[in-house]
Amino acid sequence: MSVDGYIDDASPERLVLSNAADFDRVATVRAGVDAILVGANTIHRDNPRLLADTNPTKVTITASGNLDPTARFFTMGTAPKLVYTTGDASALADVATVIPFTDLPEMLADLAARGIRRLMVEGGGTIHTQFLTAGLADELHLAIAPIFVGDPQGHRFVHTGQFAHPMTLASTQQLGDVVVLRYLLGQTAEDWRWLREAIELSRLCPPSDTAFSVGAIIVDASGKEIARGYSRETDPISHAEEVTLTKAAGDPRLTSATIYSSLEPCSERTSRPLTCSQLILNAGIPRVVFAYREPPTFVDGEGAEVLATGGVEVIEIPELAAEAKQAEQAGRA
C-alpha cells in the first residue's frame, strides 16, 4: 500500500506500488501456501493470474456469482479453482468448483476439510476488512511503498470496521525503498508474546555445563498465567516444565491450557522417572509451544513427536530459535 493507505487509485490502469524485489518476495510467500484467495472485485479490476511454482489452489468469494469465466483467474494455470458464493455461479461450473456458503468461518472450515492449511489472502480492501475485523487472520504482511496517492476515489487497504488491536511486530524487511512489516494477530501474536517471556525466564537459570537453561510458562484458555518456572529453580536437576507443572498441580484449567517452553520438552531422561513430555501428557495439557528442537548434546530428543502422538497440538516457532539459543548460551557456566 502507499504511505497514505491506498492499494490503487481510481484510474483505469492498475497502479503498481511494489518493486521487483517485493514481487519476488510475494512469489516466495505464494510458493509456501496451500491456497490463495482474492475477492470478486479484484478479479474484475486487476484480472490476476495468481500463479506460483507450487500450484496453490485459487479461491475467490462472490456475492452475486457474476464473474467472467474467461478471466485469467480461471484460464491460467492448472491449479484447482474454488468459487464460494451466496448467489448463482452456475455459469462458472465448467471452470471452477462452485460452493455455496454463508460466512467466512464456514468457508474456512470447508477449505480445511479440503486439506488447505495455509491460506494467503491477497485482497482487495473488502476482503482484507472482512478477515481482519472477524479476527480470522494470523499474520499481516504489509508492504509500504514510498509514495502518496491522495485520491479520494482510490481503493484503500481496508475499509471502515472494528479491528482488534494491538498487533505484534514480528519482523521488518527493507527491499529498496519498500519496507515490509510482518505483524502477528490473534493467537499467533499471543504465542509469540508468551514464548518470548519463557525465553527471558530462561535467563534466571543457575549456570550449568551439563544441562540446558530453559524457561516455561503455563497459560490458561483465557490468556491468564497459571504458573511459570525455569531449569534448576528448585534443585540442581529440575527441568523447567517439571517445575512449572509441579506449581500448577491439580489446577482444573490445565486440561485447556498451553505450556510455553523455550526448548522442546525432553523425551529421554535419566535424572527422573518421567520425562517432561510424559509429565505434560499426564497433566492433560492439550497444547505445547516451543522455540527450537532439543540439540543432540546429551540425548536424541523426540519430545515433539511423543507429544503429537499423545494427541497434543505442538507448535514450533523457529523464528524465535536464535533468541532462545542466545539466552540458553548465556546460562552456561
Q: What is the DSSP string of 13-62?
A: SPPP---HHHHHHHHHHHHT-SEEEEEHHHHHHH------TT-PEEEEEE
By the 10 Å C-beta count (0-12 exposed, 13-18 middle, 19+ buried), 119 is classed as buried
Task: Identify whether the C-beta of residue 216 lies closer than 8 Å to the C-beta of residue 261.
Answer: yes
Query: How far is it, in rounded angstroms, from Cα 26 to Cα 82?
Result: 21
Task: Identify whether the C-beta of residue 139 lies closer than 8 Å to the C-beta of residue 185.
Answer: yes
The whole-model pTM stands at 0.80
The per-residue pLDDT for 300 is 65
Task: With cut-offs at 50, 70 and 90, classify the pLDDT of residue 295.
Answer: confident
Name all domains of the chain by residue range, CATH numbers in brackets: 6-184 (3.40.430.10), 188-330 (3.40.140.10)
The per-residue pLDDT for 298 is 59
For the ranges 4-18, 250-264, 289-303, the lowest mean pLDDT is seen at 289-303
Closest C-alpha to 7, from 154, 160, 179? 154
User: What is the chain's mean pLDDT, rounded?
Assistant: 94
The predicted-structure confidence for 93-103, as pLDDT tens digits, reads as follows 999 999 999 99
The predicted-structure confidence for 207-239, as pLDDT tens digits, reads as follows 988 889 999 999 999 999 999 999 999 999 999
The per-residue pLDDT for 333 is 52
Closest C-alpha to 35, from 55, 8, 49, 5? 55
